Chain A
Amino acid sequence: AQKITQTQPGMFVQEKEAVTLDCTYDTSDPSYGLFWYKQPSSGEMIFLIYQGSYDQQNATEGRYSLNFQKARKSANLVISASQLGDSAMYFCAMRGEGNTGKLIFGQGTTLQVKP
């Protein structure tokens, strides 16, 4: 069965510094997609970045980059130059097996950016 693991319940980072949020996954499907979502205290889910299992390069979107290590089954999110507005819960997710679009989420990591 597919599984997403986020081992860091909470993280602190100083403003303007970079931070890495960990995510490991398990799947037997050779084709899969990995996502990161941000959930601020207001509750909405905001899509950040996507990585496909066949993508040759690590995904980047502005200050977000995904450190994809396929052999290790890890898809860590790197946020560069942290801002106070980055304080939120971050979820790693995987597209489910069976050729549907459903997402399987990790437990999330709470990030707090200190001024």
Chain B
Amino acid sequence: DSGVTQTPKHLITATGQRVTLRCSPRSGDLSVYWYQQSLDQGLQFLIQYYNGEERAKGNILERFSAQQFPDLHSELNLSSLELGDSALYFCASSGLGLAGTGSYNEQFFGPGTRLTVL
């Protein structure tokens, strides 16, 4: 158990709908990362938050948004869903917001939310 929790575990919805994925990081971790894993795109970084503020953005669609709340949990909102959004969405957390020279920033992954868009 990584200590990162994600809900729900599975989500089935229809095209055009909007869903919210929730993530609780490990106790004390300030950084939250969202990743999308799909068959055609592989594992892709979406967005990072550090202590409530957006820190880095990756290949995140404009239809997607995220936020991190004062209690450090994070939500990923996916709207106007398309068939191609079907994927496994991971949340990860780490203690550091920045990666210092020579240091590492191990990320602990949650179990993922499997989204199926029909």
> Which residues of A line the B interface, CB within 8 A?
31, 33, 35, 37, 43-47, 50, 52-55, 91, 93, 95-96, 98-108
Cα distance A31–B114 in the bound complex, in angstroms:
34
A50 close to B104 (CB less than 8 A): yes
Across the interface, B33 reaches (CB within 8 A) one of A55, A91, A101, namely A101
In angstroms, how far is the closest chain A Cβ from the Cβ of B13?
19
Chain B interface residue number, banded: 20 to 34
Cα distance A3–B111 in the bound complex, in angstroms:
25
B101 close to A95 (CB less than 8 A): no
B108 close to A47 (CB less than 8 A): yes
B114 close to A43 (CB less than 8 A): yes
B102 close to A96 (CB less than 8 A): no
DSSP class of A's interface residues: helix, strand, loop or mixed? loop
B99 close to A105 (CB less than 8 A): no
One of B17-25, B70-78, B88-96 at the interface: B88-96
Given contacts A33-B104, A44-B109, 7 further A-B contacts (CB under 8 A): A45-B92, A50-B104, A52-B103, A55-B102, A95-B105, A99-B99, A103-B35
A102 close to B48 (CB less than 8 A): yes
- CB-CB nearest in chain A for B58: A102
Q: List 26 A-B contacts (CB under 8 A).
A: A33-B105, A35-B104, A44-B2, A44-B111, A45-B92, A46-B109, A47-B106, A47-B107, A47-B108, A55-B102, A96-B56, A99-B98, A100-B48, A101-B33, A101-B98, A101-B105, A101-B107, A102-B48, A102-B56, A103-B45, A103-B107, A105-B43, A106-B42, A107-B42, A108-B42, A108-B43
